[in-house]
Amino acid sequence: MKEISPKEVEHMLSDGADMNIIDVREAEEVAEGKIPGAVNIPLGLIEFRKQDLDRSKEYVLVCRSGGRSGRAAEYLEGQGYQVVNMTGGMLAWEGNTE
C-alpha cells in the first residue's frame, strides 16, 4: 500500500495540485474539521460507494490516525483502485481545515 505524509499532502495542496481526498471518518468526526475539498465517505460505506469512484484517478484516504484509512486503502486497492493512505491521519494534520 502506498503512503503519503500529511506534510506532503499539505504541500501539494498549497502548490495547487488537484487531489482527490476521501475522508473515511464518521460524519460527526468530519464536522469537527476536514481537509479542504475532501469528500466524506465513512469506512462502513466504502463498499457501497466505490462505484462513485473513478478507477483512472488516484485517491488519498484520510481518517483520524491512519488505521481506518489504511483498511479502506487495502480494500479499494484490492478492487483495482489507485489509492494512497495518509499516515498519521488528522491527528498529524497541521494544515487548514474546513
Is 63 marked active-site? yes
* Tens digit of each residue's pLDDT (9 = 90 or more) over 43-57: 999 999 999 999 999
Give, rounded to a whole angstrom, the gap between the first and last alpha carbons of the chain: 28
In this prediction the pTM is: 0.96
* Tens digit of each residue's pLDDT (9 = 90 or more) over 6-25: 999 999 999 999 999 999 99
Catalytic pick from 61, 63, 83, 84? 63
| Residue 47, φ and ψ in degrees, nearest 5 | -60, -35
Domains of the chain: 2-91 (3.40.250.10)
The Cα 50–Cα 16 span in angstroms is: 26
Q: How many C-beta atoms surround the C-beta of residue 21 within 10 A?
A: 19
Output helix, strand, coil percentages for the chain, rounded to the nearest 5. Answer: 40, 20, 40
* Tens digit of each residue's pLDDT (9 = 90 or more) over 63-85: 999 999 999 999 999 999 999 99
The Cα 32–Cα 28 span in angstroms is: 7
